[in-house]
A and B are shown apart, each in its own frame.
Chain A
Amino acid sequence: MSALIEFEGFNKFFGDQQVLKAVDLQVRRGEVVVILGPSGCGKSTLLRCLNGLESADGGHLRLGGEELLAPGTDWRQVRQRVGMVFQSYHLFGHMSVLDNLLLGPLKVQKRQRHEALAQAQALLARVGLLDKRDAYPRQLSGGQQQRIAIVRSLCMNPEVMLFDEVTAALDPEMVKEVLQVIQGLARDGMTLLIVTHEMAFARAVADRIVFMDAGRILEQNDPESFFSNPQTARAQQFLEKFSYMESLPKKMPAKELS
């Protein structure tokens, strides 16, 4: 079976700086791929290239076998198939929750209002926020806004969802409610590309871990192998930083903190 998403020899420059270097990555339909790597290695850029927020500088990028780097690509069409959720939610502040959710289905996809509304409400109920449908984003917590942002993407019926550090801006107690939603999508068999710094979550949700450094994919493996036996020195260093955090003594003496 051919891949749903296929990066092949994919390059991206910002000015003179090459931020993605001959990236080869294939994602099958229904697969959950978590991309890990140090800050600045190009994870966000990789996701953003997939829905045309950044333009590519060479190589191939295919979605469902169709070349996206060809000149005639209709990115508006592609973006309906590729949902994206951002670190800072970016809900439309002047619209109620429902209007946020319905904007795409009604104006872009020209669907029937009652049908789109039914879907939006069902998805809201699923993330536990049906009672917030008439609220405005500023009245919601970060975790609630992020769940709404996920639903906003889902309302477009995408084939794949991209998550770029969607819990990084959240208070710790809200991280869980967002991760649970993503885990639910994974269980349903949705194709997901996830960038995260939550290692335990990556391990739990991923079918495959992709480790990047300095614009390259250094290794790809199933989560158990990657976390217990990383193949490259860079990945080992990267994981050590996280295991160091976890192995910190339970309580630091107050003196050292001040």
Chain B
Amino acid sequence: MASSGLELLLVSLPQLGRGAAQTLAISALGIVFSTLGGVAYGVLASLNRRGLNLVLRVYLELFRAIPVLVWLYLLFFGLPIFFALSIPSFWCAVLVLSLWGSSEVGEVVRGALRSLPLGQREAGLSIGLSAWQLYGYVLLPQALKRMTPPTINIYTRIIKTSSLAVLIGVVDVIKVGQQIIERTYESVLIYGVLFLFFFFICYPLSAASRALERRWTHA
């Protein structure tokens, strides 16, 4: 039994590895785009322009109120029907995760920027910095400490949520696991492997987030 389990694992490893690569690729792209989008969202929100804030607010609420799964279905099945535009399932998953992640990271960035004293902005402007320079050299670096721990937590949620991609047909690590279970009925073993896979990716991240938070709130 034990040896056959081990054998199964060894045999399935390449297949599981390909699935894991898909999961990691979707997550990594989602994280990169969410970070870029989130910083853009946070900076735009911190400008305090009324029209702009309204647009961002609507965007945020759409992604807070509507489950990620529904967005996946909407874009994957809806776009071809309504706009004759079809996106491969992999990129559809990346897109939805990025849009959702951007709104989450964006709120964190906005809050961190807002927590800075107004005088930092005025002092920066007073020496002639442009808006880009002001954010790049003065505001974002100081917001970084406050925004990094919660942003890392959002990264773990992006990784976990990437598993929804199965439902629009992405063959990620979970899908591969299911296929193996269908063939071999070794559900405990395979789900155990999936458990460890996600745990060993997400746990270090949330531990790092906590450590940074401890270090920086006492500094």
Mutual binders A and B:
yes
Interfacial residues, chain A to chain B (CB-CB below 8 A): 51-53, 76-77, 79-80, 83-84, 86, 88, 90-94, 103-104, 107-109, 149, 152-153, 156
Least CB separation from A48: chain B residue: B122
Interface pick from B82-90, B137-145, B169-177 = B137-145
Least CB separation from A51: chain B residue: B126
In the complex the two chains form, what is the Cα distance from A122 to B35 in whole Å? 42
| Pairwise interchain contact A107-B133, C-beta atoms closer than 8 A | yes
Contacts of B192 in A (CB 8 A): none
CB-CB under 8 A for A53 and B137, given A88-B119, A90-B120: no
| Pairwise interchain contact A86-B130, C-beta atoms closer than 8 A | no
Which residue from B123, B127, B142 sits with its C-beta under 8 Å from A108? Answer: B127
> What is the CB-to-nearest-CB distance from B121 to chain A, in angstroms, rounded to a whole number?
9
How many B residues touch the partner, as a band? Answer: 10 to 19
Interfacial residues, chain B to chain A (CB-CB below 8 A): 117, 119-120, 122-130, 133, 137-138, 141-142
Contacts of B120 in A (CB 8 A): 90, 92-93
Contacts of A149 in B (CB 8 A): 123
In the complex the two chains form, what is the Cα distance from A146 to B125 in whole Å? 18
| Pairwise interchain contact B117-A90, C-beta atoms closer than 8 A | yes
| Pairwise interchain contact B141-A79, C-beta atoms closer than 8 A | no
Least CB separation from B136: chain A residue: A107
18 contacts between A and B (CB under 8 A): A52-B125, A53-B122, A53-B125, A76-B128, A76-B129, A77-B128, A79-B128, A86-B119, A88-B117, A88-B119, A90-B119, A90-B122, A93-B120, A103-B138, A104-B127, A108-B129, A109-B128, A149-B123
> What is the CB-to-nearest-CB distance from A58 to chain B, in angstroms, rounded to a whole number?
23
